[in-house]
A and B are shown apart, each in its own frame.
Chain A
Amino acid sequence: MAKLTPPLNKNDQVQGPPDGIITLVEYGDYQCPHCGAAFPIVKQIQKAFVKNLRFAFRHFPLSNVHEYAFPAAIAAEAAGRQRKFWEMHDMIFERQSLLNEYALLEFATEVGLKIPAFKIDVQDPKLSEKVEADFESGIRSGVNGTPSFFINGDKHNGPFDYATLASAIEERMRLAHVAR
């Protein structure tokens, strides 16, 4: 079974309680319509499991078919440097259909980023290295399309509708309680 490689670490963008017994990791592409469809479902999951769930997003841009996916990932990471990764992440998915070469700067403005710093950061090779490292970790983890989800390190192979994801998470919570 495909395993999250490497496990969650300090380079990850993470939301939720640090001691949450469930860790949900998504490999996603900001321009992928399936990831766009998964976005509100993940929000719903985070709400339902708010006390127990950490959520991390790793970038898996399919650049040959989605030309704005990589720049969007960079923009989110640049926002992260101003501690607004998740605000940018949310805005990109909410307005996915508007993505183009100008949109990211507009989103950055609307999110309230300091634009001069943002413009410098998006050019920083360290951010593209981060996005590429996410992608490479996805290959090693057995990502076979976007979105791909991992629950406590194991690949979730079913569909990603709310009911399926929620019951997979509940099952892992049962296992975690039994193990304690």
Chain B
Amino acid sequence: MLNKNEVAPDFELFATPDQKLSLHELRGKNVILVFYPADWSPVCGDQITLYNEMLKYFKKYNAELVGISVDSKWCHTAFTRDRNLHFSLLADFHPKGEVAKKYGVYNEKEGQCERALFVINAEGNITWSYLSPVAVNPGADGIIEALEDIKQPQLVK
């Protein structure tokens, strides 16, 4: 798994059935990259649903949230509509898991992404990463702390 101070590998993946999103397009903003195993986990404890409610708090830190799983763009489209999501879900679908592998968070045995978080600064460097046990929704306290560290680097010890 990639760590703090490493360059975040660029990628370009489908965000909708006909549009791609690349990491370098987000240069100048902080990026929260959320790898997760699959769409359609139950609502109330679901990480994606939770983050969807937090977008305006992430925006305070000039941060853009992006989700990545191996589900297809059509699956993401249906999931996005069902959950009323307001951020991009990228399809690491073909070749399957290629981006997750670059970040070191692909679970070969299950054929899906691990549950992993990366905070990337405006220059495209990873400033924080976290691997969660797959069954545990990690919440967002670590993300907020990482974003605060970017905002006020003089306070970082």
Which A residues lie at the B interface, using CB under 8 A? Answer: 2, 5, 29, 32-34, 61-65, 135-136, 139-146
Set A64, A136, A140, A144: member contacting B52, Cβ < 8 A: A64
Interface 9-residue window, one of B17-25, B103-111, B138-146: B138-146
Set B44, B54, B83: member contacting A32, Cβ < 8 A: B44
Q: Is B45 an interface residue (CB 8 A)?
A: yes
Set B49, B136, B144: member contacting A140, Cβ < 8 A: B144
- Shortest Cβ distance from A130 into chain B, in angstroms? 16
Q: B141 touching A64 by the CB < 8 A rule?
A: no
Q: B45 touching A144 by the CB < 8 A rule?
A: yes
For the residues of A in contact with B, the DSSP-based class is loop
Once A33-B44, A145-B44 are accepted as A-B contacts, the answer to whether A64 and B139 lie under 8 Å apart by CB is: no
Q: B44 touching A142 by the CB < 8 A rule?
A: no
**Cα distance, A4 to B137, chains bound together (Å):** 17
Using CB atoms, name the residue of chain B closest to A143: B139
Once A136-B57, A139-B54, A139-B144 are accepted as A-B contacts, the answer to whether A65 and B139 lie under 8 Å apart by CB is: no
Which B residues lie at the A interface, using CB under 8 A? Answer: 43-47, 49-50, 52-54, 57, 83-86, 136-141, 144
Q: A140 touching B44 by the CB < 8 A rule?
A: no
Task: State the total of A-B contacts with C-beta under 8 angstroms.
Answer: 55
Q: A144 touching B44 by the CB < 8 A rule?
A: no
- Shortest Cβ distance from B55 into chain A, in angstroms? 10
Supplied contacts A65-B83, A144-B45, A145-B44, 15 more A-B pairs, CB within 8 Å? A33-B44, A34-B44, A34-B45, A61-B53, A62-B44, A63-B53, A64-B84, A139-B139, A139-B144, A140-B141, A142-B139, A142-B141, A143-B50, A143-B139, A144-B47
**Cα distance, A139 to B53, chains bound together (Å):** 10
